[in-house]
Amino acid sequence: MSDKKLEDAGPPGEAAAEILDGRIWIDGCFDFFHHGHAGAMLQARQLGDELYVGVHSDESIMENKGPTVMTLQERIAAVDACRWVTQSVPYAPYVTSLPWISHYGCKYVVHGDDITSDSSGEDCYRFVKAAGRFKVVKRTPSISTTDLVGRMLLCTRTHFIKSLSRLLDGEEGSRTESERKAEGAALTERMRLYASDETGKRPGSSVWFWTASIEARGDHTEEEKGVFSSLCQGSQPQPGQRVVYVDGGFDLFSSGHIEFLRQVIKAEEKIGQDEGWYSTEAIQERVGKGGDYGPVFVVAGVHDDEVINHWKGVNYPIMNIYERGLCVLQCRFINSVIFGAPFMPTRAYLTSTPWGTPRAVYHGPTSFMPLTYDPYSAPKAMGIYREIGEHEFSGVNAGQIVQRILRSRDMYEERQRVKGVKGIGEEAQRRRETMEEEQYLKEKVNAA
Least confident range of 25-34, 217-226, 289-298: 217-226
* Between 173 and 367, residue with greater pLDDT: 173
Over residues 259-303, the pLDDT tens digits come to 999 999 999 999 999 999 999 999 999 999 999 999 999 999 999
Q: Write the DSSP string, 396-436.
A: -SHHHHHHHHHHTHHHHHHHHHHTTPPP--HHHHHHHHHHH
Partners of 229 in beta bridges: 209
| Predicted confidence (pLDDT) at residue 421 exceeds the cutoff of 50 | no
Q: Is 276 exposed, middle or buried (0-12, 13-18, 19+ CB in 10 A)?
A: exposed
Least trusted range by pLDDT, from 134-148, 156-170, 196-210, 428-442: 428-442
Calculate mean pLDDT across residues 227-231. Answer: 96
In the chain, what is the straight-line distance between the N-terminal and C-terminal CA atoms, in Å? 49
Instruction: Tell whether the model's pLDDT for residue 204 goes beyond 70.
Output: yes
pTM beyond 0.85: the answer is yes
Mean pLDDT of the chain: 89
- pLDDT value of position 422: 43
| 304 vs 218: CA distance, rounded Å | 9
